[in-house]
Amino acid sequence: MPFILSANRLRDGAVVYFAQDNSWSERIEDAAAVPEDRVGKLEEAGLDAEARNHVVGSYAIEVAASCPPYSTRLRERIRSHGPTVGDRQTRTAVEDHQSRPMGGPEG
């Protein structure tokens, strides 16, 4: 299973993902997915961004090989889609839970 890199943005705490173009995106769809043998490189990019005070708490997440990347962990799905109970402004993970089985990704 591939891995993606996530963190919280320093300035506002928003959940962000390390993208193909070396930027940090709020959209999990933009996350760069790498095979397990390149996780070390991915984590180095996270530490570099932390050292440059762009993000905090970076870590690699194992995801299903799907588009967009799909984590089997509910915690990560809530981070990417927002609270399942709705936060009144953002789209919520409720739709995600309704459209996908809890146990794993579709197709």
Q: Select 40 or 104, whichever has its Cβ closest to another protein.
A: 104
From the list 48, 47, 79, 82, the residue with the least C-alpha distance to 61 is 79
Does 64 help bind another protein (rule: CB under 8 A)? no
Which residue spans within the chain are E strands per DSSP? 3-9, 15-18, 24-25, 55-62
Q: Select 26 or 36, whichever has its Cβ closest to another protein.
A: 26
Contact status, residue 17 vs residue 28, Cβ threshold 8 Å: yes
C-alpha distances (whole Å) from 107 to each of 25, 27, 62, 65, 87 are 25, 20, 17, 9, 29
Select the residue interacting with another protein from 75, 98, 99, 107 (CB under 8 A).
75
Closest approach of another protein to the CB of residue 78, in Å? 6
Q: Given the rule CB under 8 A, which of 16-24, 39-47, 59-67, 78-86 is the region that contacts another protein?
A: 78-86
Please tell me the distance from the alpha carbon of residue 16 to that of residue 24, in angstroms, as a whole number: 6
Does 84 help bind another protein (rule: CB under 8 A)? yes
What is the contact surface with another protein in residues (CB under 8 A)?
8, 10-15, 50, 52-53, 56-57, 72-75, 78-79, 82-85, 87-89, 102
